[in-house]
Structure 1
């Protein structure tokens, strides 16, 4: 779907001509690289929370913080935490000095000319289309975003406190109300692709811990068919809504509370699916090889939108760790065997020579 509006470049976005996609940053450079450059506009990304929901909430804060820095509109919804408290905890952006940053200036004309086929030197190239456009910023988790920056951002808060019962296809009216509020936000602020506002922007939809026990109707149990059906149908409807707008959604769900078949339907209804498997409370927590990390990061789904080839990294193993100032995702590099290393160190410096009576001596006695 074409999302580049003529020659107008929306701040905080990057257009990829190969797939006709407009990308926005997730706020985590390593995650953007894994996703092939960023989150495509018009998609729904699903994050399976860890057992305690700590790390998924951090990733969501990065997503919101990137929206604040890029002057995007933010729709924040949560029933587990106060949306106003979540927005106060988003990390502050790190401003680098221009002398220390990498220069992205345009090369000299003498370097860009084709010396062999000079007749083609004026033809546009891919580098010209994406020049001067870099996605993503760096953030400091020890500092909060200034209140002035938050107040200057268009942020809509939803906590489900004013949900009204009525005719709905959901067993829980909260899902129906949330979907209706998102549609109203897109329509009123003219984020649909058919709209033509004077100034275009991106709507970032952040849904925290969707489908948690606080989202369940009183009459239903946690593993009832109605509760899992509501979650699956909501994600499906949200994707259809976001696909026709300049919007991107990131949802975190407590996957450990749902059965496998219900979770598979939710993944099928989304465009991108990620899983954060924490080591806390498992036998991997005491593993010396994984002592520097806090859990596994798994990219379970990456839909090839507008393309026949997926950018899924394949069978690569990724791990994440939450440092004091930042959240890091890295490839898992296993160290050499500890036992072999210790045995090699003990034999280092020894000269193995044949001795009398089958014994090994460092020096031979003559």
Structure 2
């Protein structure tokens, strides 16, 4: 009976677009950038917050934000999209199209007598595997920035939009009422979609919560002190919702709006998040014209990694990470500087090897 029970448990269908972590069996989802998943421990744990500290012109952080949404739609995850800076409908219409994983169908093995000697005899009766069908179990996809996602795919996706308009609720918890309205909208979406851990459902799914430019100029209060308080209170309450549900969130924050380090707002935001990634773009900086960084578009600073069901977080083996944007890939890799050749090659050729233990180049066999 025990062996049969094990077989049945192993054949149970999992949640699409997820996989268990090898270290602690924590359920993970992809960020939409497979190369980034490798550096943060395989993916984002369920119930975690990914904080993207926007680059100066919000170029590459916006692309990573769209990748996260597109990955959820491809895996049929539910999406909660919130933004005050850009209309959520405009963000959805500009999502990149997934790169097709279809490959040409392999040529069938001919059974003609004239072709019998072209292959080994033991492969003649082997069944041909059709690899043209899509593999729905793929964890992490690639996307083509030159193409947008098909409208039919977007129409079939479960997306809840929030733009901060038509707010009627008045709360004493926040001075800026959009924070309370956003929290209630998120809680309502989690409850109605049966994403809470306490809710029993036949088939589980994941809710991806995507909030763009949280804490930007459109989220300000009358005073800087109250603005900081509202932002931190929202993150405290938002974090509680995530820990009790099958959700994962991505936040982009314009950290350049908080230049005053004496308040420690950015440090506290990073503390409340589970994965923190800073994006340093080369656009407008001296590194853009530096030949050392000619193969990259910016640096990626992983400031914090998650620690779920463990006492220590995933170990980051490399601290010098860079990214480069290609038409069909957003690649994150270890920064490799070009070799300093210059006069080194010529210098090595000009050097005359000394003989023996001395420094002179005399004709003696042994020079002491």
Distance 1:169 1:335, change over 3 A: same
Distance 1:301 1:6, change over 3 A: farther
Is the Cα contact below 8 Å between 1:236 and 1:270 reproduced in 2? no
1:38-63 CA distance string (max 9 Å, x none):
11111111110001111111001000
Counting only pairs closer than 5 Å after superposition, residues 9-28 of structure 1 correspond to structure 2 as 9-16=14-21, 18-28=23-33
Q: Partners in 2 of 1:271 and 1:100 — Cα distance?
A: 43
Q: Partners in 1 of 2:21 and 2:105 — Cα distance?
A: 28
Q: Partners in 2 of 1:96 and 1:301 — Cα distance?
A: 32
2:360 equivalent in structure 1: none
For the residue of structure 2 that corresponds to 1:199, the secondary structure is coil
1:118-153 CA distance string (max 9 Å, x none):
xxxxxxxxxxxxxx9541111111111100001000
1:209 equivalent in structure 2: 213
Q: Partners in 2 of 1:264 and 1:100 — Cα distance?
A: 53
Q: 1:90 aligns with which of 83, 86, 95?
A: 95
> RMSD over aligned Cα, in angstroms?
2.5
1:127 equivalent in structure 2: none
Counting only pairs closer than 5 Å after superposition, residues 240-259 of structure 1 correspond to structure 2 as 240-258=240-258, 259=260
Q: CA deviation at 1:291?
A: 1.8
1:329 equivalent in structure 2: 332
Q: CA deviation at 1:237?
A: 1.3
Q: Partners in 2 of 1:348 and 1:264 — Cα distance?
A: 50
For the residue of structure 1 that corresponds to 2:100, the secondary structure is coil
Q: Partners in 2 of 1:100 and 1:74 — Cα distance?
A: 34
1:281-300 CA distance string (max 9 Å, x none):
22222211012212110110
2:183 equivalent in structure 1: 179
Q: 1:275 aligns with which of 250, 269, 278?
A: 278
1:139-198 CA distance string (max 9 Å, x none):
111111100001000001111011235123112111111011000000111100111123
Name structure 1 gaps, 5 residues minimum: 102-131, 354-366
Is the Cα contact below 8 Å between 1:274 and 1:300 reproduced in 2? yes
Count of aligned pairs: 315
Q: 1:298 aligns with which of 295, 298, 301?
A: 301
2:233 is aligned with 1:230: no
Distance 1:319 1:169, change over 3 A: same
TM-score (norm 1): 0.80
1:48 equivalent in structure 2: 53
Is the Cα contact below 8 Å between 2:142 and 2:328 reproduced in 1? no
Q: Partners in 2 of 1:254 and 1:312 — Cα distance?
A: 27
Is the Cα contact below 8 Å between 1:83 and 1:158 reproduced in 2? yes
1:200 equivalent in structure 2: 204
Instruction: Give the number of the structure whose alpha-carbon radius of gyration is greater.
Output: 2
Q: CA deviation at 1:20?
A: 3.2
1:141 equivalent in structure 2: 145
Name structure 2 gaps, 5 residues minimum: 1-8, 107-135, 354-368
Distance 1:96 1:8, change over 3 A: closer
